[in-house]
Amino acid sequence: MTGFLKFTLKIILSMEFIIGNLGNAFIVLVNIMDWVKRRKISSVDLIFTALAISRTIFLLALISCLWRPVPYSSLMIIGKLMRVLNIFFTVTNHFSLWLATCLSIFYFLKIANFSNSFFLYLKWRVKKVVAVALLASLLILFINIVIINTKTDAWIDNHKANRSYNTVLNISEQFCHLFLFPNTMFTLIPFFVSLVTFFLLIFSLWKHLKTMQHNTKGSRDANTMAHIKALHTVVVFMLLYIIFFLSFLLQSWNNESLQKNMNILFFRVIGVAFPSAHSWVLLLGNNKLRQALFSVLWCTRYRTKI
């Protein structure tokens, strides 16, 4: 039963990996083709493209945590390799989360309406705000990498002193667990930023609906629809983000019990659902990408009938 469950979870994980990368590849392909055709690219399309590329690499990083070292390999060799893998995971996870957060900031500044002078200052400079947010996040990434290197050195020194070579086959698991908690804590920062933009968008929509009460157009004007569409995207993002955060938090909560059963693989299946599903949410929520997808599906269906 355990073997069958493990096999099933690995099949689901593989399907998530394939489906997520198909969505990311489609986003990149459509935006690059449109870029070549028009010889320019909008800010939101640029964020979409960068996010899709980072998500593709991030999915590879998530799968890399399932890697198992060769038995009886040198502890130093495995330690160096796992250091690279964990830094690779941290960097890709960072850009995946922060580019999605920058997209939330972009939607908020473009759609929300406030009379506050500071908000208007940011709204008129939305491209610079997004660029500064992404650059500022690099400091957080640097701190995270420093922590990874420090923890890796301490772990290797500890195992050298104890000569614990009987756990070589589980070293990849130990490393993944070692960095799960700090990585999870660092994901709280972009999560908090996205949460703030979410509530501010709701407040902006409430204010807009209040001013539209006596308007003959009702509550379904273009501005209202833009608010609702952006909120749909941000709501799904927040829900997937929470699931992703909880999956990593639970993995780091009790390492020993997780290693003894299928929970760790189950939580990874849940974790991979975030970058895979969110890419399709963005794809279907964007008019250009959605129309391109339907065109491809229609052409494929038409050709199969011939």
Specify if 292 maps to a domain: no
Q: What is the pLDDT of residue 165?
A: 47
Say how far apart CA 67 and CA 70 lie, in whole Å.
10
Specify if 300 maps to a domain: no
Specify if 27 maps to a domain: yes
CB 230 within 8 A of CB 204: no
Specify if 297 maps to a domain: no
Specify if 46 maps to a domain: yes
Specify if 304 maps to a domain: no
CB 137 within 8 A of CB 94: yes
Q: What is the pLDDT of residue 31?
A: 93
Q: How many domains does the chain have?
A: 1
Say how far apart CA 219 and CA 162 lie, in whole Å.
68
Least Cα distance to 71 among 160, 138, 170, 218 occurs for: 170
Cα–Cα–Cα angle for 131, 234, 41, rounded to 5 degrees: 45
Say how far apart CA 258 and CA 283 lie, in whole Å.
35
CB 276 within 8 A of CB 17: yes
User: Helices in 254-286 by DSSP H: which ranges?
Assistant: 255-259, 263-285
Q: What is the pLDDT of residue 169?
A: 46
Domain that holds residue 48: 2-285
Say how far apart CA 199 and CA 201 lie, in whole Å.
5
CB 78 within 8 A of CB 171: yes
Specify if 263 maps to a domain: yes
Say how far apart CA 118 and CA 50 lie, in whole Å.
28
Say how far apart CA 178 and CA 212 lie, in whole Å.
53
Least Cα distance to 174 among 304, 75, 54 occurs for: 75
CB 24 within 8 A of CB 50: no
| pLDDT tens, N- to C-terminus, the chain (306 residues) | 567 777 888 888 889 889 999 999 999 999 999 999 988 888 889 999 999 999 999 888 877 666 555 454 555 666 677 778 788 888 998 999 999 999 989 988 988 888 888 989 999 999 999 999 999 999 999 999 998 888 878 777 776 666 554 444 455 556 566 677 777 788 889 988 988 888 888 888 777 777 766 565 554 567 677 767 777 777 888 888 888 878 777 776 655 544 455 666 777 788 888 889 988 988 988 888 999 988 888 887 767 665
CATH number of residue 254's parent domain: 1.20.1070.10
Q: What is the pLDDT of residue 98?
A: 94
The two structure tokens encoding residue 218: 């009702």
Specify if 270 maps to a domain: yes
- φ and ψ of 186, to 5 deg: -70, -25
